[in-house]
Structure 1
């Protein structure tokens, strides 16, 4: 048997060989809900939905660190610092809660690994094309306040810290909650495609908390497109948290690289 071909699940026929049934693909078990899952979700709700992140500003001297010489507040750096602390806490909690299934979920690459890796940029490109069509149909820009806030932070925050939070921490926390929990674990009791719909709607909606969920309906399309791509990929890769996270990381990495390299070259106001 070739190295890396995985365990033999059906008689003596290795995975991927002729004679195996389609249903013998690798399907991962996220396990049942744990107290650590509950703790992490409650922390996420407290920090981002109930606005608990602002408690960081009560730390003596915290706000003063972001006052500029002219007396104004550096909004981008201030917001980033709050996000850095918030996501650091949530990332640690999520890792404690799911590090075992997260590592195990890399098993999805044992079958058709190069194909799955190659599909990541292809899926991203498809999302971009769909969003571009929406932009043309809408006749203008569809950037949300969340996206504009991120672009604003790139003018005040160094590239590597931004990558740490936006490219690695945020995607991992969001995939843990919106895919691993809301699909992987919830589907033990609810139809998986119902879970997919719930996950997509909540994932897209959560990005508009700062506006009180007030937004142009067109602005939600990019988030729904990304959510659809990730959730379907998550299910089809055997509920792989690793695959969903890598796909999300790739999407955010491209966005951040573009924000730091190409956006500054565009004319003011574009």
Structure 2
């Protein structure tokens, strides 16, 4: 296996690198992707003329467009990462299984912490607004759209932003564990729709999942396909029973 193999993680902050600088088209796609994702999902911005009833459709379309931009921006790296997976399928499955075990363990700790805080803090314990929005989307859109966007496109887009872009940028300038922690916490905050204490407590399990995805990303030498697959499976297990 080549020296770039994902099976033997390096100890540098971010070991995975593309062969050369991205093309102008790829750079433009990355810039629009980062700005678009930040505006639509971190800042919750939407067109001023969009009625409240159209917010769900806007979110679905935004994920689809951002997925295309991510492929346009990091297509070469994604193709190389896919090649490494197919070169060692059994190891790939083993890494994914290990990541799933770690994610379940960390999420379980997050759920316990969230439940404990909900029991001791006043006014805490309400359902996250994000989770309620997902429930409404499952009812409002056909199953194929829910599976295509909320189960596949959404998780891939989020991993491209939080792991491929954000964790990488932070780890390059600091340490891998800083990138894992910051990207994980911000991933949890993605699920907030207000600054209430209840929302802060409610996102703890999501932040724990983000940390687990970050660890998997770093341990597989920056192969974003691993946390993306983990995220897809996580959403599938949560959403499929409601379809």
Higher relative contact order (Cα pairs below 8 Å, separated by 6+ residues):
2
Supply the distance in 1 between the matched residues of 2:209 and 2:149 (Cα, whole angstroms): 19
SS of match in other structure, 2:140: coil
Q: Does the CA contact (< 8 Å) of 1:237 and 1:243 recur in 2?
A: yes
Supply the distance in 2 between the matched residues of 1:197 and 1:121 (Cα, whole angstroms): 18
* Rg (Cα) greater in structure: 1
The corresponding residue for 2:210 is 227
Q: Does the CA contact (< 8 Å) of 2:186 and 2:207 recur in 1?
A: no
Q: Where do 5+ consecutive residues of structure 1 fail to align?
A: 1-5, 58-62, 64-72, 261-270
The corresponding residue for 1:148 is 132
The corresponding residue for 1:69 is none
SS of match in other structure, 1:96: helix
Alignment of 1:13-32 (within 5 A): 23=10, 27-29=15-17
**Is 1:99 aligned to 2:99, yes or no?**
no
Q: Does the CA contact (< 8 Å) of 1:200 and 1:231 recur in 2?
A: yes
Q: Deviations over 1:110-152 (max 9, x none)?
A: 3822311322442343245334423552348563110111112
The corresponding residue for 2:148 is 164
**Is 1:53 aligned to 2:46, yes or no?**
yes
Q: Where do 5+ consecutive residues of structure 2 fail to align?
A: none
SS of match in other structure, 1:54: coil
Q: Deviations over 1:18-56 (max 9, x none)?
A: xxx9859xx522576834322211122232344443357
Measured after TM superposition, the shift of residue 92 of structure 1 is 1.4
Change (3 A) 1:156 1:101: same
Supply the distance in 1 between the matched residues of 2:42 and 2:72 (Cα, whole angstroms): 22
**1:89 alignment partner, one of 65, 68, 72:** 65
Measured after TM superposition, the shift of residue 105 of structure 1 is 2.0
Supply the distance in 2 between the matched residues of 1:204 and 1:15 (Cα, whole angstroms): 26
SS of match in other structure, 2:112: helix
Q: Does the CA contact (< 8 Å) of 2:9 and 2:220 recur in 1?
A: no
Alignment of 1:95-244 (within 5 A): 95-106=71-82, 107=84, 110=88, 112-134=91-113, 136-137=115-116, 138-139=118-119, 141=125, 143-208=127-192, 210-211=193-194, 213-216=195-198, 217-244=200-227
Q: Does the CA contact (< 8 Å) of 1:103 and 1:242 recur in 2?
A: no
The corresponding residue for 1:66 is none
